[in-house]
Amino acid sequence: MDNIKIMVVDDEQRMRKLVCDFLIKHNYSVIEASDGEDALDKFFADKDIALIILDVMMPRMDGWGVTKEIRKYSKVPIIMLTAKSDERDELMGFELGVDEYISKPFSPKVLVARVEAVLRRTNVFDEGTVEVGGIVLDESAHEVKIDGKNIELSYKEFELLTYFIINQGVALSREKILNNVWNYDYFGDARTIDTHVKKLRSKLGEKGKYIKTIWGMGYKFEVSD
């Protein structure tokens, strides 16, 4: 993750330091901002910021205001942090163009996993292909290969595998998978995910073990020996 620059915006110094220290530990370059206006000044002065971690409740200008202003000029990925868990706040964030939404308190490890997932989703897949644990996924050609051999997947199986890979290491609820792979207008039974996962695991052969079941919640794609 060398040279990837992340701006962390939070008026609470202790929280800001916790997030920054963990990101630096994972070899990210970090810029700190203590309020919304400070964040905008630093963002527009530095063209190399790859992602913003942004608190909602701040003095001078809150996270919503910062997001609105930045979205006028940039599609830089934004992860919103908030002490609230209100669904309306989350929906507002996505409407404004927020890429991820994490409620406090949170595990720094989970935050870093979300950062990596967002960066993969917004950067790596622009290159067309990605390789994870011996699985080569070519999004532009809509192909999956294992050990050089094409794996025949249905459209939804391909979309599901893509979503798992770009969220590698992140626990995903069935509801979240439905919303992102089948879209928000899908009102069918969430068990359709289990059916697709079963078929996908079978087609991936020994690589199917990377799709781990989280009982009572959903799934997590995690490469292991």
Closest by Cα among 188, 163, 161, 157 to 176: 163
Q: Is the pLDDT of residue 124 over 50?
A: no
CATH code linked to domain 5-122: 3.40.50.2300
> pLDDT tens digits, residue range 10-47?
999 999 999 999 999 888 899 999 999 999 999 999 88
Q: What pLDDT sits at residue 109?
A: 82
CB-count exposure of residue 177 (10 Å: 0-12, 13-18, 19+) = buried
Q: What pLDDT sits at residue 4?
A: 85
**Average pLDDT of span 179-201:** 77
Please report, for the chain, the start and end positions of each structural domain, with discontinuous segments joined by +.
5-122, 128-221
Quote the crossing angle between the two packed helices 108-122 and 13-25, to the nearest 10°. Answer: 60
Q: Is the pLDDT of residue 200 over 80?
A: yes
Q: Is the pLDDT of residue 83 over 60?
A: yes
Are both 5-122 and 128-221 of the same fold? no
The label of the residue with tokens 């590698």 reads 168
Q: What pLDDT sits at residue 57?
A: 87
123 band by pLDDT with thresholds 50, 70 and 90: low
Phi, psi of 152 (to 5 degrees): -80, 110
Q: What pLDDT sits at residue 39?
A: 95
Helix or strand holding residue 174 (H, E): helix 174-177
Fold (topology level) of 128-221: Arc Repressor Mutant, subunit A (1.10.10)
160 band by pLDDT with thresholds 50, 70 and 90: very high
